[in-house]
Amino acid sequence: MAIVALFDIFLNALFAVLYLLDANAIAGVEKVGFLEAFFFSVQTLASIGYGVMNPRTLYANLIVTFESISGLMLFAVITGIAFTRFAKSSTRVMFSRNATVNNYNGVPTLTFRTANERRNNILEAKVRAYLMIDEITEEGQMMRRLHELKLVRDHSPVFLLSWTVMHTINESSPLYGITLETMERLKAQILVSLTGVDETIEGTIHARHMYSYRSIKFNHRFADLIHMGSDGSRYIDYTNFHEITSA
């Protein structure tokens, strides 16, 4: 809104200067100064037309014509930007502060959490994870490379509450044999992207997060989120969403 207001003031000031180039351009006032020309431009640009001031010369009518066209284009652009801004669905997807590496069913597994902070569902949610590391080619050139991490489950038909995303570190994994020291030397990062469809407005949402090697905790696991109530029902406590413990 501030940008639009400043641009509107600038545009009216510019046309006011153009009107002042002709001393007889505006009729209806005894003496035409910058303020009179400015407010005449405001009335013209916004199609207000109080009927007090009006263009007198051919030059003034040409400027009015050009300003009217500019006003139509300006309002069209502002309307489009405002509609796009307010129609865009907010992502509100939360990722755990850390990722962990610990054994799951006897196999080392990279794990991180994500949660839907919205009250409605995210349909057909998909998660992708990539390992970003520095690599040196045979010619000695350093390159930043992306290696996709195959996830145990990368798709969820309905993403409502939380999702624990896991990558099995086996012989086919880019993380196989990598230690924390190796990740630091390679400046390793885990890039995570999540996409889905907002069920309310049926618009696609995007979320992404980056885990540096400092936020990857080996031999740790996440604290439990699911608890059992006194009546036997299960519930999720997001208080421990970011909590990790030694494995």
pLDDT at 161: 81
pLDDT at 90: 63
pLDDT at 10: 93
Q: What is the pTM of this model?
A: 0.64
Q: How many whole angstroms separate alpha carbon 15 and alpha carbon 67?
A: 8
Q: Is there a contact between 66 and 85 (Cβ–Cβ < 8 Å)?
A: no
pLDDT at 151: 94
Q: How many whole angstroms separate alpha carbon 165 and alpha carbon 151?
A: 7
Q: How many whole angstroms separate alpha carbon 131 and alpha carbon 148?
A: 6
Beta bridge partners of 108: 103
What is the set of domains in the chain, with CATH numbers?
2-87 (1.10.287.70), 93-246 (2.60.40.1400)
Question: pLDDT tens, 194-244?
Answer: 999 888 777 788 899 999 989 999 999 998 887 787 887 777 788 888 998
Ordered per-residue pLDDT tens for the chain, 247 residues: 888 889 889 999 999 999 999 888 888 888 888 999 999 999 888 888 787 888 889 998 999 999 888 888 888 888 888 777 766 666 688 899 999 999 988 899 999 999 888 777 889 999 999 999 988 888 888 888 899 999 999 999 988 888 999 999 999 999 998 888 888 888 899 999 999 988 877 778 889 999 998 999 999 999 888 778 788 777 778 888 899 888 7
pLDDT at 202: 75
Q: How many whole angstroms separate alpha carbon 180 and alpha carbon 145?
A: 18
Output the DSSP codes for the chain.
Answer: -HHHHHHHHHHHHHHHHHHHTSTTSEESSSS--HHHHHHHHHHHHTT---SS-EE-SHHHHHHHHHHHHHHHHHHHHHHHHHHHHHHSPP--EEE-S-EEEEEETTEEEEEEEEEE-SSS-EEEEEEEEEEEEEEE-TTS-EEEEEEEEPPS--EEEEE-SEEEEEEE-STTSTTTT--HHHHHHTT-EEEEEEEEEETTT--EEEEEEEEEGGGEEETEEEPP-EEE-TTS-EEE-GGGTT-EEE-
